[in-house]
């Protein structure tokens, strides 16, 4: 199975990994979260004099916290204000490109207060699921690929009989041009692609490029087959 990642309608390429829910901020001001383990959360409730339960609505729990006498007394308006007044809890700031897997954050913390979305409670980070991502690591580099949608693809090679209808010389001539889709082509393969939203597979061309920022991660791109590549 392969995955085509898309962002704002544009294809980011074909990847071997399936994107996962991530936590990151796409706002100018970033995202600051105040996170707690279970013991710290109980201490928070005791110190603030609140009795919120795990099944309470998150906006109600947030309201209980910010409207508590403790927060009013200390004039608390932001997450860092509350962290300083409490003396415990972990501030997690998402800005300047920081991204984390949502599943990792859930393992790390039990409860969270988010002043941006005005929610508090069990640490499921459900407010951060508009985007998904893949973290790729090499021995000397790493990067995040972030998408808002993605498609599952089954990609298989064409048979010799299927390949016979294409003019490979015409394809080679086109792909040898440096400006083909604004990239330099390293290699290509004519393939059959079964898209998750369509019943019938279609024939397309799979392209690997010499883009130094991408080729070592084995990214590739799917493009439609030109009509002039088909033999008359």
Q: Do residues 183 and 211 make contact, with C-beta atoms less than 8 angstroms apart? A: yes
Q: Please tell me whether residue 83 adopts helix, strand or coil conformation.
A: helix
**What is the residue whose two structure tokens read 């704002």?**
8
Q: What is the mean pLDDT of residues 106-131?
A: 88
Q: Do residues 208 and 186 make contact, with C-beta atoms less than 8 angstroms apart? A: yes
In this prediction, residue 30 carries a pLDDT of 84
Question: Which tens digit of pLDDT belongs to each residue from 74-114?
Answer: 999 899 999 999 999 999 999 888 999 999 999 999 999 99
Lowest mean pLDDT among 28-42, 121-135, 209-223: 209-223
Lowest mean pLDDT among 34-38, 53-57, 70-74, 160-164: 53-57
| DSSP strands (E only) in the chain | 2-7, 10-15, 20-23, 31-36, 90-94, 100-101, 111-114, 119-122, 132-137, 142-147, 149-157, 185-195, 202-209, 221-224
Torsion of CA 57, 59, 62, 63, to 10 degrees: -110
In this prediction, residue 31 carries a pLDDT of 86
The mean predicted confidence, pLDDT, of the chain is: 87
Cα 224 off chain centre by: 26
In this prediction, residue 70 carries a pLDDT of 95
In this prediction, residue 89 carries a pLDDT of 95
In this prediction, residue 175 carries a pLDDT of 82
Question: Which tens digit of pLDDT belongs to each residue from 180-219?
Answer: 556 678 888 999 999 887 878 899 998 887 664 454 566 7
Q: Does 62 score more than 80 pLDDT?
A: yes
> Encoding tokens for residue 60?
């109600």
pLDDT band at 19 (very low <50, low <70, confident <90, very high): very high
Q: What is the distance between the alpha carbons of residues 108 and 166, in angstroms, rounded to a whole number? A: 54
φ, ψ (nearest 5 deg) of residue 197: -95, 0
| DSSP strands (E only) in 37-139 | 90-94, 100-101, 111-114, 119-122, 132-137
In this prediction, residue 126 carries a pLDDT of 75
Lowest mean pLDDT among 5-14, 58-67, 177-186: 177-186
Q: What is the mean pLDDT of residues 163-185?
A: 78
The continuous run of DSSP H or E covering 217 comes out as: none
Q: What is the distance between the alpha carbons of residues 76 and 82, in angstroms, rounded to a whole number? A: 6
Q: What is the mean pLDDT of residues 66-76?
A: 94
């Amino acid at each position: 199975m392969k995955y085509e990642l898309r962002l704002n309608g544009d294809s980011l390429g074909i990847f071997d990994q399936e994107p996962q829910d991530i936590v990151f901020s796409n706002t100018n001001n970033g995202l600051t979260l105040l996170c707690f383990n279970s013991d710290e959360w109980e201490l928070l409730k005791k110190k603030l004099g609140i009795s919120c339960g795990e099944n309470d609505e998150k906006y109600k729990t947030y309201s209980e916290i910010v409207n508590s006498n403790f927060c009013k007394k200390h004039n608390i308006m932001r997450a860092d204000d509350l962290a300083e007044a409490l003396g415990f809890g972990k501030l997690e700031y998402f800005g300047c490109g920081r991204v984390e897997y949502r599943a990792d954050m859930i393992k790390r913390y039990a409860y969270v207060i988010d002043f941006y979305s005005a929610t508090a409670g069990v640490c499921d980070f459900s407010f951060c699921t508009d985007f998904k991502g893949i973290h790729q690591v090499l021995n000397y580099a790493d990067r995040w690929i972030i998408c808002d949608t993605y498609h599952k693809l089954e990609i298989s090679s064409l048979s010799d009989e299927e390949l016979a209808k294409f003019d490979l010389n015409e394809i080679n001539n086109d792909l040898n041009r440096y400006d083909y889709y604004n990239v330099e082509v390293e290699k290509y393969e004519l393939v059959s692609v079964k898209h998750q939203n369509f019943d019938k597979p279609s024939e397309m061309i799979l392209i690997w490029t010499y883009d130094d920022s991408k080729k070592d991660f084995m990214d590739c791109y799917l493009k439609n087959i030109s009509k002039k590549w088909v033999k008359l």
